[in-house]
């Protein structure tokens, strides 16, 4: 036991040195996610056919309210949920079963029309379009009520499942953290390609080194790098961009561990399927960029074309991002959605490790 622990420690130290010696690791795992975080915070830090599910709540009597409702029904793009109170409508909005909630004013003569949007999608084209539509409906209500100067204003608010008032920076921070961990796994197995290509893996098997411990040390290095990424990016997001975090320690720890293992498995599979360093980097880049834009990190998956949504729903990063946000932004516990995220990631990781092991054994036998 003591011998194995000593061997594991030596292998882990070697993997750490090899990992941080590679310039590509520093760029893809450290500098690239930092640059992404800063760029997207600056760009998005402020505020196909279109259709949206909405609810209209409040007193529908009065000329202004009637005009608002009639104009909404006449748009042809709003699917209006009927007979909902404000509490139920907000719950459905938080659960993403509604795209927006229109709140009618208490007074029939003056006040505010309310537009409630989900905080997570506030930069999406759907939210922007609904904001424009709500402005037009408010103008129609003003015209019907007074015929002259506006008597009603439009007030937009954002709601979420979190207890905190969330901002775009909160979602960008959690999204970039999830992406950086995923890329650490995808690009972190580059050393295995070089070791196998140079014949070092076959020589290593002829030594007393326990190959299982070699693999454990490699994955351990991925965890060490991922911890650095989480700490660094969180500090930048909170200090420089005033992002809010609401950690649920157990939830975050579980999704972090399972997600890191899952993407390490994907990186392991890509290295097993790659004969050269160039092919490894090409496949890793392709997988990374596809997941980056189809997993809900920077683009709301609800605005994707219909034929791309099923692709998003099977990607591991989609579930990892959702889990990281649940454990880091929402402060969620172990609910049904979190168990689904863990199950999908575990399935991806397990299948990837099994396939990669089979590929490595087959290629090692042919050497």
Q: What tens digit of pLDDT does each residue of 149-200 get?
A: 456 677 777 666 555 556 677 778 888 899 999 988 888 877 777 777 766 6
| Confidence (pLDDT) at 232 | 93
> CB-side exposure of 318: number of CA atoms within 13 Å?
21
pLDDT of res. 64:
76
Same domain? For 154 and 203 the reply is no
Give residue 270's Cα distance to chain centre.
Answer: 22
Integer CA distances (angstroms), 38 to 34, 61, 226, 237, 318, in order: 6, 48, 19, 9, 22
Same domain, 101 and 222: no
Whether residue 192 is found in the same domain as residue 238: yes
SS3 144: helix
Instruction: Tally the domains of the chain.
Output: 2
Q: For residue 270, what are the domain limits? A: 9-44+167-366
Task: For residue 73, give every residue at least 6 positions away whose Cβ sits within 8 Å of its Cβ, in sequence order, or none.
Answer: 80
For the stretch 217-258, pLDDT in tens is: 878 888 988 899 999 999 998 888 888 888 888 999 999 999
Q: Give the sign of the dihedral formed by CA 16, CA 19, CA 21, CA 23.
A: negative
Q: Which of 117, 138, 159 is the last residue of a domain?
A: 159
Query: Are 285 and 194 part of one and the same domain?
Result: yes
End-to-end CA distance of the chain: 32
């Amino acid at each position: 036991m003591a011998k194995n622990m000593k061997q594991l420690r030596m292998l882990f130290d070697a993997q750490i040195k090899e990992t941080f010696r590679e310039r590509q690791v520093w760029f893809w795992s450290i500098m690239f996610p930092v640059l992404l975080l800063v760029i997207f915070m600056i760009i998005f830090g402020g505020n196909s056919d279109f259709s949206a599910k909405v609810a209209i709540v409040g007193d529908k009597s009065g000329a202004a309210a009637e005009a608002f409702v009639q104009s909404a029904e006449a748009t042809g793009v709003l699917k209006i949920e009927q007979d909902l109170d404000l509490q139920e409508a907000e719950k459905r909005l938080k659960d993403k079963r509604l795209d927006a909630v229109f709140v009618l004013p208490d007074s029939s003569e003056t006040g505010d029309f309310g537009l409630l949007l989900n905080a997570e999608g506030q930069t999406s084209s759907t939210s922007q379009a609904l904001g424009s539509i709500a402005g037009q409906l408010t103008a129609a209500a003003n015209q019907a009520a007074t015929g002259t100067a506006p008597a009603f204003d439009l007030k937009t608010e954002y709601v979420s499942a979190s207890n905190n008032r969330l901002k775009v920076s909160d979602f960008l921070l959690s999204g970039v953290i999830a992406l950086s961990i995923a890329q650490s796994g995808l690009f972190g197995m580059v050393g295995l390609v070089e070791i196998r290509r140079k014949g070092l893996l076959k020589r290593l098997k002829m030594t007393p080194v326990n190959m299982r411990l070699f693999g454990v040390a490699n994955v351990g290095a991925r965890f060490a790098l991922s911890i650095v990424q989480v700490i660094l990016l969180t500090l930048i997001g909170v200090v420089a961009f005033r992002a809010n975090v609401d950690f649920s320690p157990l939830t975050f720890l579980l999704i972090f561990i399972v997600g890191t293992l899952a993407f390490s498995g994907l990186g392991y599979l890509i290295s097993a399927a790659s004969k050269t360093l160039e092919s490894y980097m090409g496949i890793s880049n392709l997988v990374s960029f596809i997941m980056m834009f189809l997993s809900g990190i920077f683009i709301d998956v609800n605005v994707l074309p219909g034929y791309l949504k099923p692709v998003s729903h099977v990607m591991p990063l989609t579930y990892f991002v959702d889990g990281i946000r649940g454990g880091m932004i929402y402060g969620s516990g172990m609910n049904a959605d979190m168990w689904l995220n863990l199950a999908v990631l575990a399935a991806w990781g397990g299948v990837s490790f099994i396939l990669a092991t089979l590929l490595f054994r087959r290629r090692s036998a042919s050497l």
